[in-house]
Amino acid sequence: MSIIQKICPFCTEFTTFTTHQMARLHIFNKHSILLPTNNCRTKLESIILVTQKIRHFSCPCCEYCTTSKDELKLHVEEHGFKVPTLDNGSCWILQTTNVTAKFHGYFSSCLSSFKNNMDVDRYFNNLLCISSVLVLQKRAKYESVPAEYFPPSLLANLHREILKSLSLPSFLDPDLFMTIKGILHMYHENQISNLATRQRLINLAMTKDGPEQSVVVAVESLLPAMKDLDAGEIGESELACSIVHPLIQSLLAYEMEEKTAKCTNTIPENGTDVGRRPDYEVAVYEQYQLSFRTCFGELKGEGSSDVSAIMDFYRLGVFAKLEIVASNLTGVLCFQALGTTITFYTLTLPHPTLYTFTEITTVTIPKTKNDIMSLICALDDLFKIATYHRTISKASEANTQLATLPFAFVQGKRKSLPVKRRPSLGSISNRKL
C-alpha cells in the first residue's frame, strides 16, 4: 500500500501535519514562504496507485506527490507567490496608464508587507490583491491602497471601464415599469389584496420573457412576507427565507431548468479551503449533473459587526475567483446581503494577470407593506442584474490560474472597530461609518 504524508520539505527533520492547511501555515511562520490554497478539484487519494507499501510526500498546494523530499522542496518552491513578469506587449492600457504595471507594483508591495497587513478588517484590498484580485467599488478612496499605484481617480475610471465592458442595460422598459408601479400602488393604498396583487403580477409576467419576466416574478415573490406591521431587526434566517431566497431564485433561476438557486452550506469543489462555505449559490447543471456555479452570496442579519461584513466580502471574492478558474467562466456574480440592503458584484478577468471584483449596484428591499413603493427604485437595477447573469457562460479560452491566498492567513480577530480605524467600506456595509 501507499502511505501519503503531509510534511515540511524545508525542515531538516521530518515534520508531519494532519492537513495541508497546517503545513502551509507552518511553512509561512517558520520559513517565510507564502503558499497558495489548493486549486485542484481532484482528490489526492485517487491519484496514488495502491500497489506496494511506499511513502509518498504530498504537495500542500496541488495533487503532486513524490517519494523524494528534495524533489518536493523544489516543487513547493515553484508554488510560492511571485510578482508576474511584465510583458509590455500585452498590458492593459487605460487611456495612457499601464494598469498591468500599476497592479504588479501594488502586488509586490502587498506581498512584501504581508506579515504586517494580515487583518482583513483593515487590509481587505491588499489581501485580495495577493490573490491577483483588484477591488473596484463606487467608493474609490481606500487608505490601504497606495495612491502611487492606484489613486482614487484611476480606481474610479477602472470601475467605469469594467461596467462599460459588461454592456448592462440602463433601464427597464418604461411601460413595464409603470405597470408594476401601478399594481404596487393599488396594493399600497389597500385597493387590492395581497393575493390579488400577486395574481396581477403573475398575469403580467406571463406576457413577458427573459430578464423582464424575471423582474416581475421577483417582485411578486416578495409579497407573501409583506405585512403592515412594525417589523423589528431582521435576523439572518428570516432574511434568507423571506427576502433573499425568493428574490434571487426568481431573478436568476426562474424558468430555467438547468439552473438552481439555493441557500447552501456545502463546500464548492473549486479549491476552497476546508470549512469555508458560501451562504448562497446559483448553480448550472449539464446532463442532470452539477457543472458550475454562476453566483455566490453571503448574508448577515441587521446589527452584524463591521468585521464580519468585511470578512464575508473577502470570502465572496475568493469563492468567485476560484470558481471562475476551476470552471473556466466569463464571470461570476456575487451578492452581499446586510439586512435588506443587497450589493451585487462581478468577478471578471480583464487581463491574464489581473482579476477585478467590481461593484455593479445596490438595492434595498422593503420589509413592510407601508414601504413597498420604495421597491420601484430597485426595478432598473434588478433588470440589470437579471440581464448580466444570463450572459455568464464558459469562456472560449482558459482563464489564468493565478495563486490564491488561503483563508487561514486572513481571519478577522476583532468583533468591532473603533471609528478612527474603520476602513472606507463603501458598499461593503452600506452603513454610516
> 133 pairs with which residues across the strands?
355
Judge whether 430 and 363 are in contact, CB under 8 Å.
no
Q: What is the pTM of this model?
A: 0.86
Q: What share of the chain is helix, strand, coil (3-state, %, to 5)?
A: 40, 20, 40
pLDDT value at residue 432? 38
**pLDDT recorded at residue 230:** 82
Which DSSP string corresponds to 186-249? HHHTTSS-HHHHHHHHHHHHTT--HHHHHHHHHHHHHGGG-BSS---PPPHHHIIIIIIHHHHH
Q: So where are the chain's domains?
A: 2-79, 174-428
pLDDT (average), residues 92-121: 89
Residues 6+ apart with CB under 8 A from 207: none
pLDDT in tens, 283-303: 999 999 999 999 999 999 988
Task: Give the tens place of pLDDT for each residue, 375-406.
Answer: 999 999 999 999 999 999 999 888 888 888 88
Q: Say yes or no to pLDDT of 46 above 70.
A: no
- The pLDDT assigned to 45 comes to 39
Residue 265: what pLDDT?
67
Q: How confident is the model at residue 114 (pLDDT cuts 50, 70, 90)?
A: confident
Q: What is the pLDDT of residue 406?
A: 85
CA distance 406 to 408: 5
Retrieve residue 315's grid coordinates.
470570502
pLDDT over 70 at 343, yes or no: yes
List the strands of the sheet with 259-263, edge to edge.
133-136, 354-364, 341-351, 332-338, 289-300, 280-286, 259-263
Q: Are 101 and 91 in contact (CB under 8 A)?
A: yes
Percent share of the chain, pLDDT over 70? 85
The average confidence (pLDDT) of the chain is: 85
Picking from 257-261, 269-273, 415-419, which range would have the lowest pLDDT averaged per residue? 415-419
Percent of the chain with pLDDT strictly greater than 90: 53
Is the distance from CB of 180 to CB of 204 less than 8 angstroms?
yes
Lowest mean per-residue pLDDT among 9-23, 173-187, 220-234: 9-23
Beta carbons within 10 angstroms of residue 108's beta carbon: 15
